[in-house]
Amino acid sequence: MSALTFTLKKDLAQKLDVSPLTPDLLAGKSLAEISATLLWYGKKQIRVDEAFEITGKDTNEIVFDQSTSKIDYIGSGLKTGRITVNGDAGAFLAFQMHRGNITVNGNVNDFAATEMAGGLLLINHNVGDYLGAALVGNKKGMKGGTIIVKGNAGDRIGDQMRRGIILIEGNVGSYCASRMLAGTIGVLGNVGEYVGYGMRRGTILLTQTPKLHATIQDCGIHTMPFLSLMFKSFSDFPSKFAHINQNRVHRFAGDIGNDGKGEILVLK
């Protein structure tokens, strides 16, 4: 069976919420039922077939073609299956995703992977701010799963992140891992100002020592055997991180303004 494909045919003037279009919500539905599903478009609702050309049948494998940054909530609450996005994705991609697999062959807007709990999110280009963060007002961000970004990422990556892994091959903006509770963030490129600002626990892995603020403390250079375990667990990832095999790092601890049990490890 070929993948169920939604090809965008409408020139979107408003944001389109596609949260009903996930493998678990569409399983067992006929083409007519899928076509008649209502999506929020701005402040009104439109049918799926008003926005998309629908081809294919396999609801476990969903593709969005010609996607643009106006399409929000792709893969929202995903519990099974695979979603591929050809083009850009809007805000709240992979919102509260639990399991499964999302690949984006384009750029992604802000608030991607908000409160994500599991599965794999692969972004082949750039991503905006607040990747893996919490909904505004909530206290815990991403709770599990893995995010791989091939390009650059914006500010506040992993804000209030609780668990899971975010790996970014490019550069990231300011306040990376701000208020981080736990988990792992790796960045191969540059990081902006105030990395680890207010972090409580968790690990930030970097390749070069950034400018650190005063409440991140130098703990010296060490060989850390747990890194072998970590890089071994990365070895199957479709990422440059799969090829790192090094456990000598410069360890910084902080943010001592907030308990100070977090760490910034810079590969030596």
Partner 1 sequence: MMINGVQIDDTFAEAFNMRGTRVIITAQNHKWAYNGANAMTGFATSVIGCGVEAGIERELSPQETPDGRPGVAVLMFAMGSAVLMKQLENRMGQTILTCPTAAAFSGIEGNDRINLGKNLRFFGDGFQISKQFGGKRYWRVPVMDGEFITEETTGMVRAVGGGNFLVLATSQPQALAACEAAIEAMTKIPNVIMPFPGGVVRSGSKVGSKYKTMFASTNDAFCPTLKGVTDTQLSEDIESVMEIVIDGLTEADIRKATYVGIEAACKLGGENGVKRISAGNYGGKLGQFQFHLRDIMNDKSLSGGSA
**Binder of partner 1 out of 19, 203, 239, 258 (CB under 8 A):** 203
Place of tokens 């000598």: 248
Q: Please name which of 35, 140, 25 lies closest in space to residue 78, comparing C-alpha atoms.
A: 25
Q: Site map for partner 1, 154-193, x if CB under 8 A?
A: ---------x------------------x-x---------
Indicate the residue among 28 and 225 with the shorter CB distance to partner 1. Answer: 225
Q: Report how many residues bind partner 1 under the rule CB under 8 A.
A: 17
* C-beta closer to partner 1: residue 57 or 250: 250
| Owner of token pair 């944001």 | 15
Give least dist CB 118 to partner 1, A. Answer: 10
- Distance in Å, CB of 180 to partner 1, minimum: 13
**Distant-in-sequence, close-in-space partners of 114: CB < 8 Å, separation ≥ 6:** 92, 94, 95, 96, 130, 132, 133, 134, 135, 141, 142
Q: How far is the CB of 202 from partner 1 (least distance, A)?
A: 9
Neighbours of 204 (CB within 10 A): 28
What minimum distance in Å lies between the beta carbon of 4 and partner 1?
Answer: 29
Residues 213-242 as x/- pattern, contact with partner 1 by CB under 8 A: ---------xxxxx-xxx-xx---------
Give min distance, CB of 101 to partner 1, in A. Answer: 16
- Distance set, CA 107 to CA 71, 183, 231, 236, 252 (Å): 12, 24, 27, 23, 32
Of the two residues 128 and 198, which places its CB atom closer to partner 1 in the complex?
198
Closer residue to partner 1 (CB): 118 or 170: 118
**Is 201 a residue that touches partner 1 (CB under 8 A)?**
yes
CA distance 61 to 81: 6
Got the DSSP string for 105-123? ES-B-SSTTTT--SSEEEE
Complex with partner 1: residue 46 or 182, whichever CB lies closer: 182
DSSP codes joined into one string, 93-106:
TTTT--SSEEEEES
Residues 19-48 that bind partner 1 (CB under 8 A): none
Closer of 154 and 164 to partner 1 (Cβ): 164
Closest contact distance (angstroms) between CB of 94 and partner 1 is 19
Residue 228 beta carbon to partner 1: minimum distance, rounded to whole angstroms: 5
Residue placing its CB nearer to partner 1 in the complex, 139 or 232: 232
DSSP summary character for residue 75? T
From the CB of residue 85, how many other CB atoms can be counted at a distance below 10 Å? 24
Nearest approach, Cβ of residue 30 and partner 1 (Å): 37
Of 139, 65, 128, 143, the C-alpha closest to 93 is 128
- Beta strand 52-55 with 101-105 is unpaired
- Site residues for partner 1 per CB under 8 A: 163, 182, 184, 201, 203, 222-226, 228-230, 232-233, 261, 263
